[in-house]
Chains A and B, each alone.
Chain A
Amino acid sequence: MCLAIPAKVVELRDGDLAVIDLGGVRKEISLALVEDVWPGDFVIVHVGYALQKLDPVEAQKTLALFAGLAASEAVA
């Protein structure tokens, strides 16, 4: 399934590396496939690489969609 999980970037290291945190578990991964990622950002991690940045606004909108709210109600 291309097992991947959103995790928070907590530290940037040399050579495109970063430390991510998922529920208290930390792991060094590579940011070589993504651009403009900073500590505090969430990234989708797969086999030790960040595949994409996670958009927190869009995540809120999707949660609002689940609840049957209009997207605007969630972001407001």
Chain B
Amino acid sequence: MKYVDEFRDGGLARTIAARIAAEVRPDRTYHFMEFCGGHTHAISRYGVTDLLPANVVMVHGPGCPVCVLPIGRIDMAIELVLASPPTPLRKAGCGPSGRGPSRSLCTYADTMRVPASGGLSLMKAKAKGADIRMVYSASDALRIAREEPDREVVFLAIGFETTTPPTALVVREAAALGLTNFTVFCNHVLTPSAIAHILESPEVRDLGTVVIDGFVGPAHVSTIIGSQPYDYFAEEYRKPVVIAGFEPLDVMQAIEMLVRQVNDGRAEVENEFTRAVTPEGNARAKALVADVFELRRAFEWRGLGKVPYSALRLKEQWASFDAERRFTMTERSVADNKACECGAILRGVKKPTDCKVFGTVCTPETPIGSCMVSSEGACAAHYTYGRFRSEASTA
């Protein structure tokens, strides 16, 4: 696979590893946060940690759209399509029972196992009879709406700036086609506001100081928004940012660039992923998003709580395609499990193994907190790929 295999080359990995080892100063520790789950996944799956000096510590950030989807939003989605939701859901009462055409929820497969209230998830709601279909693309949801005009088809839209432009496109297409049975339940979230939140939220004071010396910046998100939005972090917080691709060599190169910035006392935005990221990003995609979506004043992130201006909703102009307006869905907030340390882990204050429920009651099969939900979450990545490092000694 061209432009893939070359970026996973083990020989080059050793070359970069040797450079990093030569450049790190032995008298200090380097804490870098990779914001994106894509980087977390690459680091775990390829065993990048083994190639880094011990004083370069990677902190896994909240950049996984599945992980940060709060319980309340999944509850709302289930309520749309499950005829008789279990007790915690029934109160709000906007279930589809006996009213109007039957509803289908189309979703990316990633969201199927995200825990909701009452022991439910989309997977379990499907088992209880809800019509929930997995799609590969937003356009598949639109196609289902066209093919089945007697059904209300709701697309559960999740994701960062990457997945948002396709959602914008299908909304416009649905309008152009005059579809009246297609809506979007929008959960699109924004990367820069989440990074800002991690750096400045009041919780950071309660949870302790986040020692982050620099960020590995998003890859595919940046193909859309460009590298400019990160300038603010470099200037305002004096934190170096290196935008990096999701292949393991990209991550290692970015780490080397961050080490250099730290050693030089610089705090700049650098771009390692120049093969796909420009300063401006994708103008056409940005224009589409601006046409269809507007900022929400605040949005709840699982593990992070309410984050101001961190998510999108459909503009008034497209209201008829907005499931939240069409079905008068009730906004609700459900607290995360108390024992769960996701809040601290997502901010880099704690490690997965610091959490009491990690690997005991909270596992990929029965996730309690957001970090265990997707294979990109910090806890799931450590559980699935790295557990042998922390448990071997207790054998």
Contact = CB atoms under 8 A, between A and B. Distances in A.
Contacts of B41: 1
Contact of B223 (A3, A23, A44, A63): A44
Contact of A44 (B9, B64, B250, B276): B276
B253 A30 contact: no
B220 interface: yes
**B interface bracket (residues with beta carbon within 8 Å of A):** 35 or more
A63 B12 CA distance: 9
B253 A65 contact: yes
Contacts of B276: 6, 44, 51-55
Contact of A32 (B1, B2, B12, B169): B169
B136 A51 contact: no
A59 B249 CA distance: 12
B1 A33 contact: no
Given A5-B4, A49-B137, A66 B249 contact: yes
Contacts of A4: 162, 219-220, 223, 246
A10 interface: no
Contact of A49 (B6, B165, B250): B165
A3 B223 CA distance: 13
Nearest to B221: A2
B19 interface: yes
B246 A55 contact: no
Contacts of B138: 47-48
A48 B274 CA distance: 22
Interface of B: 1-4, 6-7, 9, 12, 15-16, 19, 36-41, 63-65, 108, 136-140, 159-160, 162-163, 165-166, 169, 218-221, 223-224, 245-246, 249-250, 253, 272-277, 282, 284-285, 288, 376
6 contacts: A2-B38, A4-B220, A51-B165, A52-B224, A61-B274, A66-B16
Interface of A: 1-6, 8, 22-23, 30, 32-35, 42, 44, 46-49, 51-56, 58-59, 61-63, 65-68
